[in-house]
Amino acid sequence: MIAGLRTLGRFYKDKFKLACQGHGGGGDGIHRTDFERAQYYYSRAVEKSNRADISALNDLGLLFYTAIEIKESNTEIHLFNEGELQLFRQDARKLFNESLGVCADQQRAPYNLGLTFFSEKEYKKGYVISRVPRRRRTGRCRQIERCPVIYNTI
């Protein structure tokens, strides 16, 4: 169930990202709708996992970061206002920190957390956070034990 929700979320996130890159507009609301659908599916995955699935937490945080990244790379896109983008940045950081709380032995959350600071030109802080040393494995990180390296799909 959670994997299916994450797959649908990824589909709409990628559709949103490709549409923004290809058309540079979004005045008709189509791109924002794709973002909202992705947010819905990722949020449901987080809820269904009782906020214990690090992949679902990281995916939702990365969706918020994707909106920030698109705005920074193309100033012609006006899908979100500055207030929304600041909320996305805060929510992304909360989700990445929550993911680290569930399982500190992962690479994806610190890397993504570092990206949120890089986007605000806080390079030193972003670098330090993204280079957090790996901690000893615990039984709570079963997802990591199957796949010791998790990379972003950006």
Query: Which of residues 118 and 149 earns the better pLDDT score?
Result: 118
pLDDT for 54? 94
pLDDT for 37? 96
Q: Are 31 and 19 within 8 A, CB to CB?
A: yes
Q: Hey, which of 89-93, 120-124, 125-129, 132-136 has the most confident mean pLDDT?
A: 89-93
pLDDT for 96? 94
Pairwise CA distance, residues 112 & 64, whole Å: 11
pLDDT for 149? 47
Per-domain boundaries in the chain: 2-104
The residue whose two tokens read 């709708």 is 33
| 20 Cβ contact partners less than 8 Å away, ≥ 6 residues apart | 26, 31, 70, 74, 77, 79
Give the residue among 130, 90, 128, 134 at the shortest CA–CA distance from 113.
130
Model confidence at 122, pLDDT cuts 50, 70, 90, reads confident
Give me the mean pLDDT over the 80-88 stretch. Answer: 92
The residue whose two tokens read 């189509």 is 30
CB-count burial class (<10 Å; 0-12, 13-18, 19+) for 74: middle
Model confidence at 144, pLDDT cuts 50, 70, 90, reads very low
> What confidence tens digit (pLDDT) does each residue in 35-74 have?
999 999 999 999 999 999 999 999 999 999 999 988 888 7
Q: Are 52 and 101 within 8 A, CB to CB?
A: no
